[in-house]
Structure 1
Amino acid sequence: MIPLTRDRVPGVLVFDVNETLTDMSPLAGRLEDVGLPGHVLPTWFAGVLRDGVALTLAGGWAAFADIAADGLRTLLARLAPTADPERAVAHVLDAFPQLPVHPDVVEGVRALHEAGHRLLTLTNGSAATTRAVLDRAGLTDCFEALLDVQEPRAWKPSPAAYAHAVRTAGVPAAEAMLVAVHPWDIDGAARAGLATAWVRREPGPYPSTMRPADITAAGVADLAR
């Protein structure tokens, strides 16, 4: 791999949203509100990603909210069987548009935008939710497109998802860079021909079985620098 330099960084940056831009920790409180332990948040979210990707691999499709709701119903049946499941599900999922961005995101996104990079988002979640989050953070005008996987009907890391992003941007894959916190997303984008930047928000190592990122940064502001 030829190392990226300042002159070779792609002009189009495609941002993952959940956990990359958004701080999902407030969801733990919503889980506790409905009788679930807050510590199941990572397990639940990983299960949502697993089931969405599994459906894509099998040639199926379902939206993020529907899969997330199914996972919550299962957890409620096991751990909080006295709860009203539909009301509980709505209470948790309604928090997504209200999630804050990580503290480094505002500075980093604005710096990248002001430096002339074209910014897009690509989420397995909802573009409408992304817009609500970015509106609250005052960042919507920094992004030229807010994308989800509804149109390709394929969850990341399917090549079709990344193809949707670069097609929207009107550039070849090699002229775009995915920015994400999840190594599986980085690996998928790299296999689809994009450059990649791993936002390392946790101290764990990058998996040796996946294609490495071109750039590693501690946050979005660090990436901009």
Structure 2
Amino acid sequence: MHHTAFVFDAYGTLFDVHAAVRRHAGAIGPEGQLLSEIWRAKQLEYSWVRSLMGAYSDFWQLTEQALDFAFRKVPSADRGLRQDLLDAYWHLDCYPEVPAVLQALKAAGARLAILSNGSPAMLEAAVRSAALDQVVDDIFSVDAVRRFKTDPQVYDMVTTGWRLYPHAISFQSSNRWDVAGATRFGFRTVWINRTNQPDEYRDLQPGLILPSLSGLLTDERS
């Protein structure tokens, strides 16, 4: 089936979540990668815990709290860089293939959206910074439903907003847990496995596994 509706996760799929730390790697020191990994892991953990508790706090607040925790876990990292890292998170690099892939899909007549845990302001800044604002038709933020992925209400924003059945939408994410949630909801899912991670959630298999978004173009032509 050829799809004309493509929805992309933002962080880790379009935008490199480790770009902020990498930009200041020299100042942070040898444990920069560890700091970045803890920051990302806690950011996600906080989103899941808050969803389960029914105690929503927007993603930017969780991002700040996660970085503070990461600094406490990695005391060698200079806490004076906190604001620089937070500022950098608003302008994350997108992965190299992203602009060309989205432009090609758009040129072929596809409808494109982002569906993300990010707050509206974070997502608008990232999209503008990466010059993707001309190709992305809609940005769906969980802020509208005050639940984080993988709550079905999050994925339902797209089907309701676009008036499409789930199977008509191709959903791309680098996060395996997100792919599991979207598969359960009924989307046609594509796991962008950038770092060759082992599979999990084997009862909720993606429709396709790709090492980058570039494979979408081949898949749609086949």
Per the TM superposition, whether the score is higher than 0.5 is: yes
Q: Please tell me the residue identity of whatever aligns with 2:179.
A: I
Counterpart secondary structure, 2:113: strand
Aligned partner of 1:58 among 53, 56, 73 = 53
Contact 2:46 2:62 in 1 (8 A): yes
Aligned partner of 2:117 among 100, 121, 124 = 124
CA drift at 1:88: 4.2
Greater shift after overlay, 64-73 or 31-40? 31-40
CA drift at 1:36: 8.6
Aligned partner of 1:161 among 154, 162, 168 = 154
Contact 1:105 1:220 in 2 (8 A): yes
Q: Please tell me the residue identity of whatever aligns with 2:71.
A: L
Q: Within 5 A, what are the aligned runs for 1:188-203?
A: 188-203=181-196
Q: Please tell me the residue identity of whatever aligns with 2:116.
A: T
Aligned partner of 2:94 among 96, 101, 104 = 101
Structure 1 residues 32 and 78, CA, compared in 2 at 3 Å: closer, same or farther? farther
- TM-score, normalization: structure 2? 0.87
Distance of 2:74 and 2:191 partners within structure 1: 35
Distance of 1:82 and 1:115 partners within structure 2: 46
- The aligned counterpart of 2:207 is 214
Q: Please tell me the residue identity of whatever aligns with 1:96.
A: Y
CA drift at 1:52: 0.5
Contact 2:31 2:77 in 1 (8 A): no
- The aligned counterpart of 1:67 is 62
Structure 1 residues 56 and 80, CA, compared in 2 at 3 Å: closer, same or farther? same
CA drift at 1:11: 2.0
CA drift at 1:69: 1.3
Greater shift after overlay, 45-54 or 30-39? 30-39
CA drift at 1:133: 2.6
1:37 maps to 2:31: yes
Distance of 2:194 and 2:28 partners within structure 1: 28
* Number of residue pairs aligned between Structure 1 and Structure 2: 216
Q: Please tell me the residue identity of whatever aligns with 1:71.
A: A
CA drift at 1:205: 2.3
- Which structure 1 residue ranges, 5 or more long, are not aligned? 1-7
CA drift at 1:103: 0.7
| CA deviation vs aligned residue, 1:90-119 (integer Å, no higher than 9, x gap) | 322211221111111111111111111110
Aligned CA RMSD, in angstroms, stands at: 2.2
- Which structure 2 residue ranges, 5 or more long, are not aligned? none
Contact 2:39 2:69 in 1 (8 A): no
Distance of 2:27 and 2:119 partners within structure 1: 24
Structure 1 residues 11 and 91, CA, compared in 2 at 3 Å: closer, same or farther? same
- TM-score, normalization: structure 1? 0.86
Distance of 1:120 and 1:18 partners within structure 2: 14
Q: Please tell me the residue identity of whatever aligns with 2:55.
A: G
Greater shift after overlay, 15-24 or 205-214? 205-214
